A and B are shown apart, each in its own frame.
Chain A
Amino acid sequence: MDHLELDELDWQRLTRYVSGRSSSEERARIDSWAATDSDRRRFLDRLRQLWEASAEPSAAVPDELVDADWRELQRKMRSVHPVDPAPDRPAARHERRHERRRERIRPGPAISLLVILLLAFAGVLFVVRNESGDRGAALQEVSTERGERARIRLSDGTMVRLNVSSKLTLPDRFTERRREVTLQGQAFFEAASDPDRPFIVHAGAGTVTAIGTAFDVDAYEPDDVAVVVSEGKVALQSHRRGGKDSVHVARGRLGRVTGGQELHVHTVEVDRALAWLRGQLSFDATPLRRVAARLERWYDVDVNVIGPELQQRRLTATFDDESLSVMLDVIAAAVEAEYDRDGRTVTFRQ
């Protein structure tokens, strides 16, 4: 059937033909092409059927639902305040776009934290304003519960993806000199480029300074902070040595503060380290004790590992978006352990 040997241009002609967009000349040419061969005729007929069938609407929203959804929207509409347009607009198009970008993310009273979408097993995202923060500036907080992640766009264009059970604290406004945030837990930052204002993340025992780059900070354990750089370069500083100790971490490298002050840098498989961004759980010779902590945050469960020897057994695996029970079965088999589960409590034993 497909001995017709059609190239891309032929397909464009055929598409025009079945959609009735061909010129009369092109149409006549295709008709005569089909007329000489029954296979071609059948092929053309079927293509036309396919084209026609593809217009079938896929799913309908019933009228009652449209009514209900409109009423729901109306309720929400009445509780939002309209955003005012900017007064002046430059004439040149690219400048205007630029201007609009600024206008859109104009801080207003609070850094306009646009929490784009939050998807969770359950729970809510908290944006808390704390008027009496330190450095004289008001602070804002975004936090996620276990099993919950958030994407946050900051006023400077920086994009933050906050992993489960994490908290990001930031000032009400960034200053002209620096953009500083504080992280507990884990987040991936795509810092907007601004050479005059470094982007600084305070995380446990470490401080990460970036200028327009993309990096992940894991500070679930405040004394053991890891930075993985997927673009550009950052400086990692350990806090507790008077701020003198600092290393550069380049793309594809992992920088780590251990024991609250020791700095190490080594090469890392970035894809695996950032698997959480794709909704995957990835372990690389991770001791079961740590695997348990990650499962707790990921699935909002309590995981106990009985026995020091078992706690040290290591797991290397990458899981797609699996259910907890699948995950537990695989892990138990891999580390040769048994587990039992009682509601939200899981116990691994020998």
Chain B
Amino acid sequence: MGAITAHLSSGLAPSARTWTDTCMMTDARPGLHQDEAVRQVRQGSEEAFERIFRTHYPGLCAFAAGYVCRMDVARDIVQEVFLKIWERRKCWRVRTSLKAYLYGAVRNRALNHVQSAWTTRTTVMEPHSTSLSEPRSPEDELHYKELADAVRRAVRRLPERRRTAFVLHRQQGLSYGEIADVMGISPRTVEGHISKALKHLRESLPIVLTMLP
């Protein structure tokens, strides 16, 4: 219960209103840093929209799951974001990168969800383990998996802003500039969030870390 309450309260960021402002993360000047795919979607191309969906959907779902702790709910949230874009495609303009736009929209939606999820019980989702970036010995592998799991759990307990910045950078590969756009803060502040997250993780994982060879 404690973790869940903490999780919910971390969602009570001052962005309750941000969802409907999604359209405002756009720029009216056409031709300014516009993605070709976005232009095609604006003209009603379903194929372009599908390409965007397929490229970003898995990452966005994983990101949303960090807020709602349930993959089915996360998938709903991301689909709602895509549906909203499609509905408003004629006025869809992406001021920054498409990636920053999508992650920003999903974050807003997820925060709203967390805030309004009064009656849902969050259950902690156990992640699948996935392939590792480089081969390791079986023993190292075990340690590494333990560490990765412990890190994931610790990341979930980070305050929302720190967690968002950290996860967007480490798991979704967004640049500091893109994260700054997603969160509406400066890249310097993003750097601050990420280093504070690392410090926080380091301090909350001393045992696991010392277990490593």
- In the complex, the answer to whether A149 meets B119 with C-beta atoms within 8 Å is yes
CB-contact partner of A61 in B46, B61, B91, B209, under 8 A:
B61
Residue B138 at the chain A interface, CB threshold 8 Å: no
Most buried by B among A8, A104, A148: A104
Q: How large is the interface on A (under 10, 10 to 19, 20 to 34, 35 or more residues)?
A: 35 or more
A264 interfacial by beta-carbon distance below 8 Å? no
A119 and B88: CB pair below 8 A?
no
A82 with B19, Cβ < 8 A, contacts A59-B71, A116-B116 known:
no
Q: Render B133-149 as a binary contact track against A, CB cut-off 8 A, 1 for contact.
A: 10000000000100110
- Tell me whether A96 is interfacial, beta carbon within 8 Å: yes
Given contacts A159-B16, A159-B17, are A70 and B199 in contact (CB under 8 A)? no
Looking at the assembled complex, report how far the CB atom of A84 sits from the nearest CB atom of chain B, in whole angstroms.
6
What does DSSP make chain A's interface, helix, strand, loop or mixed?
A: mixed
B33 at the interface (CB under 8 A from A): no
Chain B residues in 8 Å Cβ range of A15:
191, 194-195, 198
Question: How far apart are the CA atoms of A15 and B82 in the complex, in Å?
Answer: 34
Pairwise interchain contact A53-B91, C-beta atoms closer than 8 A:
no
A57/B171 in contact, CB under 8 A: yes
Q: A32-64 CB contact bits vs B (8 Å, 1 = yes)?
A: 000000000000001101111111111111000
B88 touches A82 (CB 8 A): yes
Smallest beta-carbon distance A184→chain B, Å: 20
Q: Which residue of A lies closest to B89 (CB)?
A: A82
CA distance A100 to B26 in the complex (A): 10
Whether A279 and B201, one on each chain, are in contact in the complex, defined by CB atoms closer than 8 angstroms, is: no
Closest to B203 in A: A2
Q: Is A60 in contact with B62, judged by CB distance below 8 angstroms?
A: yes
Partner of A72, one of B79, B151, B202: B79
Q: Is the CB of B86 within 8 A of A77?
A: yes
Cβ of A71 to closest chain B Cβ, rounded Å: 10
Q: In the bound complex, do residue B46 and residue A60 qualify as a contact, i.e. CB atoms below 8 Å apart? A: no
State A12–B195 Cα separation when bound (angstroms). Answer: 5
Residue of B17, B24, B127, B205 near A59 (CB, 8 A) is B127
B156-213 interface (Cβ within 8 A of A):
166, 170-171, 191-192, 194-196, 198-199, 201-203, 205-206, 209-210, 212
When the two chains form the complex, which single residue of A12, A16, A50, A72 contacts B147, counting CB atoms closer than 8 Å?
A: A50
B residues 105-127 near A (Cβ < 8 Å) are: 112-113, 116-121, 125, 127
Against B, the Cβ 8 Å flags (1 = close, 0 = not) of A149-160 are 101010000010
Q: A117's contact among B17, B46, B116, B170, by CB below 8 Å, is which?
A: B116
Distance A212 CA – B101 CA, assembled complex (angstroms): 31
Asked if B65 CB lies within 8 Å of chain A CBs, one says yes
Q: Is there contact, CB below 8 Å, between B86 and A12?
A: no
- The distance in angstroms between the C-alpha atoms of A6 and B203, with both chains bound, is 12
Render B1-42 as a binary contact track against A, CB cut-off 8 A, 1 for contact: 100110010000000110111011000100000000000000
Contacting residue for B66 out of A50, A58, A100, A117, CB 8 A: A58
The B50-72 residues at the A interface (CB cut-off 8 A) are 50, 53-54, 57-58, 61-62, 65-66, 71
Query: By the criterion CB–CB under 8 Å, are A66 and B57 in contact?
Result: yes
CB of B118 within 8 A of CB of A61, answer: no
Chain A 251-274 per-residue mask, 1 if CB under 8 angstroms from chain B, else 0: 000000000000000000000000
B residues less than 8 Å from A81 (CB atoms): 87
User: In the complex the two chains form, is B20's CB within 8 Å of A104's CB?
Assistant: yes
Interface string of A1-37 (1 = CB under 8 A from B): 1100010100110111010000000000000000000
Taking the closest CB of chain A, its distance from the CB of B100, in whole angstroms, is 18
* CB-defined contacts of A341 to chain B, threshold 8 Å: none
* CB within 8 Å for A100 and B116 given contacts A54-B155, A116-B19: no
Contact between A49 and B90, CB atoms less than 8 A apart? no
Question: A97 — which chain B residues lie within 8 A by C-beta?
Answer: 24
- In order of increasing CB-CB distance, the 6 nearest A-B pairs are A85-B91, A279-B118, A15-B195, A56-B148, A59-B127, A53-B148
- Residues of B whose CB lies within 8 Å of any CB of A are 1, 4-5, 8, 16-17, 19-21, 23-24, 28, 44, 46, 49-50, 53-54, 57-58, 61-62, 65-66, 71, 75, 79, 82-83, 86-91, 112-113, 116-121, 125, 127-130, 132-133, 144, 147-148, 151-152, 155, 166, 170-171, 191-192, 194-196, 198-199, 201-203, 205-206, 209-210, 212
**Interface residues, chain A, with chain B CB atoms under 8 Å away:** 1-2, 6, 8, 11-12, 14-16, 18, 46-47, 49-61, 65-66, 69-70, 72-74, 76-77, 80-86, 89, 96-97, 100-101, 104-105, 114, 116-121, 147-149, 151, 153, 159, 277-279, 320-321
Known A-B contacts: A12-B191, A14-B195, A50-B202. Give 11 more (CB < 8 A).
A49-B144, A49-B212, A54-B166, A54-B201, A58-B62, A66-B58, A70-B50, A70-B53, A83-B87, A83-B90, A279-B118
